[in-house]
Structure 1
Amino acid sequence: MKLFAVIQQVIAGWIMILRGEAGWQDRFRLTAPGLATALALFYVFAFLAVVFASMQVGVPTVQGFVDIMLIQSLWLVALLIGIFGTRAALKSQVPVLPILIPGIYALIAYLVLGSLLSMVIGVLLPILWIGLLILFFRLGRVAGGWSLGVSAAFAVLTVVLLVGLPMTLYMLIASPIPAA
């Protein structure tokens, strides 16, 4: 039951962020245990996405499963690069957890919705990316306190990394090794 309470609070918190309402921080546990909860939920949903996808394409090998989970971890790296890159560009000391924890929950929503969309109507994924842009833009405005331009840059950087890193890695892995 606690899982459903956490998800309910996160949804309420994200609605508050999107509306620009005060008090959204109370809906997220912006502490180290809150970060651990967000990460645990991210990996649980990543695992479930792999299980769901394997119903269509077959069960991956252990190495394939580890590779998929590492690729899913790149999404977290992309979010961290977006946050720390923006903070570094601004020479800002904005706290990381109020941006990171809701950002991880946004990635969970993207993971769940993206998995469902890609199996049913894959051409709608770009619409999901636009939705993610809006979420990260609002997160930058509300949690980071950044201006319109900085929040837009943060959102674009993060989504480009989210989409680009796994695709680049897939291309590198799939490219044939030239004979010597």
Structure 2
Amino acid sequence: MKIWAALRNAVIGWTMLLGGKAGWRERFTRTAPGLATALAIFAFVTFLAVIIVAIGTDIPGLFAILAGMFALALPLVAMVLVLLGTRNVVRGTEPVLDLVVPATYALMAFIVIEGLLASLIGGPIVILSWLALGYLLYRLARAATGWPTAISIGFAVLTVLLLVAMRQALYMLSSIAGSPT
């Protein structure tokens, strides 16, 4: 039941954050165990997403499942890389977990919603999910760190751009690896 409580608190916390209400931080367990819980749920969501996509084709092997989970974890990797770079540039001292834990829950929703949009509506509408993710990351950066607007926008934009670039690079590498010589 801890997982359901964590998800419920994350939804309430994000609702409060987007509404500009105080107390949103208390809805997230911003500790190492809280991060571990968020990452475990994130891994489960990516696993389910890979399995759901595979239902229509063939049962994937272990390597295909792990590769799919890795590809779906790219938003989290991009966000952490940009966060660490931004903190380094602005010489921030704010706790990393204040941003990483809520962002992990937002990225779970992003993976599910982006996947639904891509499969139900089509590729070009996915750009809206990227814009929504950028907005969520901007609001989180403003609320969690107190960074100026320009820095928060830069953080959000760079995270989404890195996500797109990482996916494009992965796609290019996979098509090179799969092409006959």
TM-score (norm 1): 0.93
Aligned to 1:26: 26
Distance in 2, Cα, partners of 1:160 & 1:154: 10
Distance in 2, Cα, partners of 1:59 & 1:110: 25
Distance in 2, Cα, partners of 1:163 & 1:17: 26
Runs of 4+ in 1 over 3 A off after TM superposition: 176-179
Count of residue pairs brought into register by the alignment: 179
Structure 1 residues 96-140: Cα deviation after superposition (integer angstroms, max 9, x where no partner): 000000010111000111121121112321111111011000011
Q: Is the 8 A contact 2:46 2:73 kept in 1?
A: no
Q: Is the 8 A contact 2:3 2:37 kept in 1?
A: no
Letter in 2 for 1:43: A
**Within-5 A mapping of 1:17-96:** 17-96=17-96
Aligned to 1:106: 106
Structure 1 alignment gaps of length 5 or more: none
Is 1:129 aligned with 2:165? no
What SS class does the counterpart of residue 88 from structure 1 fall into?
helix
After superposition, the Cα gap between the structure-2 partners of 1:178 and 1:82, relative to the gap in structure 1 and judged at 3 Å, is same
Aligned-pair CA distance for 1:85? 1.1
Distance in 2, Cα, partners of 1:73 & 1:133: 16
Distance in 2, Cα, partners of 1:136 & 1:78: 12
Q: Is the 8 A contact 1:53 1:115 kept in 2?
A: no
What SS class does the counterpart of residue 134 from structure 1 fall into?
helix
Structure 1 residues 45-68: Cα deviation after superposition (integer angstroms, max 9, x where no partner): 000101111122332222211211
Moved more, 92-101 or 164-173: 164-173
Aligned-pair CA distance for 1:178? 9.1
Distance in 2, Cα, partners of 1:19 & 1:146: 18
Moved more, 22-31 or 12-21: 12-21
Aligned-pair CA distance for 1:74? 2.5
Aligned to 2:152: 151
Aligned-pair CA distance for 1:142? 0.2
Distance in 2, Cα, partners of 1:162 & 1:111: 12
Moved more, 131-140 or 57-66: 57-66
Distance in 1, Cα, partners of 2:102 & 2:169: 26
Letter in 2 for 1:49: A
Aligned to 1:169: 170
Distance in 2, Cα, partners of 1:118 & 1:55: 16
Moved more, 33-42 or 53-62: 53-62
Moved more, 4-13 or 135-144: 4-13
Moved more, 68-77 or 21-30: 68-77
Identity rate of aligned residues, in percent? 41
Q: Is the 8 A contact 1:83 1:154 kept in 2?
A: yes
Distance in 2, Cα, partners of 1:56 & 1:146: 45
TM-score (norm 2): 0.92
CA RMSD, aligned part only? 1.6
